[in-house]
Structure 1
Amino acid sequence: MSGFKKFLLRGNVVELAVAVVIGTAFTAIVNSFVKDVLTPLIAAVGGQPDFSDLKLTLGRADFTYGNFLNALIGFLMIATVIYFLVVNPYERLQNRFFPKETPDERECPECLSMIPKPARRCAHCTAEVTPVTDQATSAP
């Protein structure tokens, strides 16, 4: 039982629970935005006020593709907002405060072991290698 208690009290489980609750609330907001704002704007151009009424009848089967269109628009809106308001700024902050370090080592072309960039000879296989300077490795 104590293992289960430790699992529940770990930080990432609590963070995940908070994320699910916030995500659910955010989904409700975006779905309302799609239904009450975006769909009427599209209807003003296309003439259809509510996509949920759209259906295709083949024989005796009804395909209600309008609900799918509403769900698709909602998904695209959620994905767009999440990318531009969460993922993109987070990646910028990560790159600004925690820049990726350039490796100080490289592979020996003969034995594939890791050697320092300025090395002229591999310490493992003693093959002669051309030293690499920072200017040679930087992209133009």
Structure 2
Amino acid sequence: MLQGFKDFIMRGNVIELAVAVVVGSAFAAVVDTIVSNVVTPLLNSVGGAEVSGLTIEIISGNESTRMDFAAIINAIIVFLITAAVVYFVLVAPMNKAMEFRRRGQEPEPEEISDEVLALREIRDLLAQRKTDGTL
């Protein structure tokens, strides 16, 4: 049982997944900070001088009823940038490496059933008869 667990942990994809999670979360924090301090103020400035950005208060004067659309757009941008970086920095190169590994390996021979072998033999005999003119 312990050997199976050790084999599972030592598999490359488990370690790669752990690295991706750590790098992704660290990068998400960086992207979130940049987007919050650059993109969100730009989005809030779209509303004009007398409007408080992309927010709507359902009940005027009650801040707990405020809907902040800039924060939603901020979260979407952070997600898309983080996903793109994780894909292009970790996933795409890993897929390329796996492709190179597969190229070096011979494909496994497929198992052929007796029925398929019999049908191939019949096909070959018919083709031979056709070329010999004994049909």
Out of 119, 125, 132, the position equivalent to 1:127 is 119
CA distance, structure 1, for counterparts of residue 83 and residue 107 of structure 2: 32
Identity of aligned residues (%): 29
Aligned to 2:37: 36
Question: What SS does structure 2 have at the residue aligned with 1:127?
Answer: helix
Query: With structure 2 as the length reference, what TM-score do the two structures score?
Result: 0.53
Question: Whose helix proportion is higher, 1 or 2?
Answer: 2
Shift of 1:43: 2.7
Name the Cα RMSD after superposition.
4.2
Question: What SS does structure 2 have at the residue aligned with 1:63?
Answer: strand
Higher relative contact order (CA closer than 8 Å, sequence separation 6+): 2
Bigger radius of gyration, 1 or 2?
2
Question: Whose strand proportion is higher, 1 or 2?
Answer: 1
Q: How many residues align?
A: 107
**Structure 1 runs not aligned, ≥5 long:** 106-113, 116-121, 132-140
The runs of 4+ residues in structure 1 deviating greater than 6 Å are: none
CA distance, structure 1, for counterparts of residue 123 and residue 67 of structure 2: 67
Question: What SS does structure 2 have at the residue aligned with 1:68?
Answer: helix
Q: Can you list the C-alpha shifts for 1:8-64, whole angstroms capped at 9, x where unaligned? A: xx447x946555443332221121232234x17x939x9449xx9521344564322
1:22 and 2:14 are equivalent in the alignment: no
Query: With structure 1 as the length reference, what TM-score do the two structures score?
Result: 0.52
